[in-house]
Amino acid sequence: NANYILGLLNRKDIPIYSGKAQPLKRKLINAVVHGDSGLAGADTIDTDYQLTGDADRRIFEIVKDNPNEVTILTLGPLTNIARTFLKYPACPTLINKIIMMGGAIDVCGNKNRVAEFNIFVDPEAADIVFRSKAIKILVPLDPCNKITLSLADFECLHGNYLYKPLIRTMKQFLRGLVEDEGSKELLVYDALAAYYLINPKAFRCLGMDIAVETKGEITRGMTVAEKRKKAVKNNNIEVAVNISQEEFRRDFFNILKNEVI
């Protein structure tokens, strides 16, 4: 899928590194809403990309060579970041910050009653990253659920080279969302986390003490915030609790239309 996206965007200059295929301690669970391929609806295109090496080693090399300059954006389970931190203990303090799409604070989960998919898949990895000394920003389901898009919204891209592949994948994604989550419109979780890189001022963030549930049968992967008034809090993560919907919608489509924001 990374090959497909880079080929579509004609970005052969970006290397791809191979992450681990399994969570730290559990069997892999795939996201049903994305189909068997993980990018349902997309046409397969020929690419000449080669996997360059292991992700955890390369992450550390880049961070070590550019201390306090590298920002990491994660859009899936935190397995590879956790492996990097375990293998290279100095890594967390060398990173500028990590922006993570994951978790659910005051809303229900999208994998079980309380957990968001990325954290649910590898809660042990999330626990390691959350406890680390890295500067962390979490974009959970809370702001993501506030922004939905319809297929009609993408008509503004008609004539753009991205229009057809986007519509194909979005139709399949929407079908999966309807079947799996009961949503009638598109939820663009990853795009919101990526948007933080571009326009952090569009978000309202709060420092929170967040722990990950790794033992529960019903609550596996729950991101538990310390909300007691008298509790001693270790505000280990900046959590995005709200977003300017108007700014996101405007910039999202301007970017897809290759317009400067």
10-11-16 Cα angle (round to 5): 130
Name the domain count of the chain. Answer: 1
- pLDDT by residue for the chain (261 residues), tens only, comes to 788 788 888 887 888 888 888 999 988 877 655 555 555 555 555 555 566 678 999 999 999 999 999 999 999 999 999 999 999 999 999 999 999 999 999 999 999 999 999 999 999 999 999 999 999 999 999 999 999 988 888 888 888 888 888 888 887 777 776 666 667 788 899 999 999 999 999 999 999 999 999 999 999 999 999 999 888 888 899 999 999 999 999 999 999 888 655
Number of neighbours of residue 113 by Cβ within 10 angstroms: 10
Judge whether 43 and 162 are in contact, CB under 8 Å.
no
> What is the pLDDT at residue 245?
96
pTM for the whole structure: 0.89
Residues ≥6 apart with Cβ < 8 Å to 193: 73, 74, 75, 99, 100, 101, 139
- The Cα 33–Cα 177 span in angstroms is 6
In a domain, residue 33? The reply is yes
Q: Compute and round to an integer the Cα radius of gyration of the chain.
A: 18
The boundaries of the domain holding residue 79 are 2-256
> What is the pLDDT at residue 159?
87
Judge whether 96 and 69 are in contact, CB under 8 Å.
yes
Q: What is the CATH number of the domain that holds 82?
A: 3.90.245.10
What is the number of alpha carbons within 13 Å of residue 30 lying toward its C-beta? 11
In a domain, residue 261? The reply is no
In a domain, residue 200? The reply is yes
